[in-house]
Structure formats: C-alpha cells, structure tokens
Amino acid sequence: MITLRCRLAVSFFVLIAGMNVPPTRCLAEDSTLPPVIQYSLFLGTLDRLEPQSITVALEEYIGRFSDAEEKDAAEAHRLFRAFYSETAHRLSESVLGYGEMLSGKDLDKRKTGAGDYRRYGLSICADEVGYFFKEDKMFLIRAAAVTTGDYGDYARYMAEEGDDRVFVEGGLTIPWDSLRLRIINLEAFARTHPGLSETDSVIRPMLKRCLAFYLRGGINTHAYDRAGAIDPELHASYERFLEDNRESSYHNLIGRVYDVLEKNGFMKCDELAALLESEEMGGMIHYQPMY
C-alpha cells in the first residue's frame, strides 16, 4: 500500500512538472519512497537538452535496479526509455534543427557541428525532414540486461531488433527475406507473451505494418516492376515462407496470395488487390511507375 508520504511526493512531482520546475534532488533521494518513484523524481532533475543526461540516467537505472524486483525494474525501464526518447527528440530539434526548413548546406553544417554524440547513446540518422538523433543500440542493450521476465524479453527484443529503422521514407532498409523473418519473430513474440501490455501497444502494430509492407510493398520499395511483375526476391521469399514457416498463422494467407499470383503469371492484378482487401490488408499495391 502506498503511504501518505508517497502520495504527497507523487502529487508534488506532478505539480512541479506541470510548472516546468525540476524536482529537488533531495526528494529524489528520499529512501522512504518506493524505488520507481525515486527514479522518476531523479529523472526530473536531469536536463533533457544536455546529452550527458542520457548517460547519467542509464547508469542510475543500472545502479538502482540491477538487483531489484522484476516489476520495479520493468517500470523503471519504461521510465528510462521514455526519458531517452524525449531527450533524443529535443536534442534533434535544438542541435540538428530537425523539423526546420533548412537548406542542404545548413543541414550538413548542423550535422558536422554536432560532434560525436555516440558516447552519449545517440546516433545520427536522416529522413525526408532532416537529420535526427536515434537511441543507440548498445545503450538499449545495457539497459535491457537489467530486466527479467516477459518484460525483459520485450526489452531485449526491442534493443536487438525492434527499434531498427526498417522503413524509411516509404522504403525498406532490409532485404525482403529479412522482413519475412521479422514477421515470424514478431508473431512468435506476440504468441508467447499475450499478457504483456507492450504486446498489444507495440508488437502487434509493428507486426501488422511489416506484414502489410510484405504483401504490398512501399512507395520507395516496389513489390512489382513497371510491367507489373513481382520482385524476384519477394517471389523467392514467399516460397521460403510457404516451405519454412508452416506454423505461422499467416501461412494460409501467403499461400492464397501465392496461388493468385501463380494463376496470373506472378503479375500484379485486381484479384490480388481484392484478396488483400478482404483480409484488411488493402491499400495501394506498390509497383515501379512508368516515368
């Protein structure tokens, strides 16, 4: 049961957070408070516009929760990940000018001036808007190593694979068959961790997006060429799916897609579009346009 003191501490934290005033380190170190609340208050003392704050937050998390209860380590890890993501976003805007209408020259100047942020757990990536900071894989792995149980499985999966930038600007950054394996891994995770909240909030939406791309392609990674013929690598991946992934709940769907394609000379067709629509996988089937 949460004591009155804990309730007052949380109320105080909420109040000052709304006022954009950091909580005092003294309160964050109050040993009478539950450890997750202590850590939450500690994160509130850190400046999200300073990259060093990420390193401090990680080391504090590891120090406080390496031998903690499974539930506490999981809740604190969620706080760390949220802090890490928010800090990366704020630094992307303040340091790299992400979201600003900068010229290519100015963007490159910002990137060069950013220096080496990897030591703070930040990698520089780019999309159609500009350069931005992304959480570093090694930092994520270190944090995930503290967690156990179902949430620990999730944290390690996301550190190793889940946060990779699979889709960038409507394009696929991994081979078609690697996307097949990702679908299989996500499906297996969802099947073996049905009670984890992140299974519904993160894993299943990620799985649906990967499957939709696998079946339709994207605006910058076409599933079909200009004549409407399926990409040979995707064609081969479908055949591997049917041969190697018979246990998948999507095996039947891939089989029906393959049958339609085979009947139509492995060409994009209205019958395929209708099938995907009936499976709630509708939308544009992407093919290389004629220019």
Q: What is the pLDDT of residues 109-130, one digit of tens each?
A: 666 666 688 899 998 888 777 8
* Residue that is written with structure tokens 């802090």 in the block: 83
Give every residue of the chain whose pLDDT is below 50, as ranges. 1-10, 12-24, 290-291
Residue 57, pLDDT score = 98
- Helix then strand then coil, % of the chain, to nearest 5: 60, 5, 30
Q: Are 144 and 77 contacting, i.e. CB atoms less than 8 angstroms apart?
A: yes
Question: Which residues have C-beta within 8 Å of that of residue 28, sequence separation ≥ 6?
Answer: 38, 41, 42, 44, 45
Structure confidence at residue 19 (pLDDT): 42
CA–CA gap between residue 285 and residue 290 (Å, rounded):
15
The confidence score (pLDDT) of residue 287 equals 64
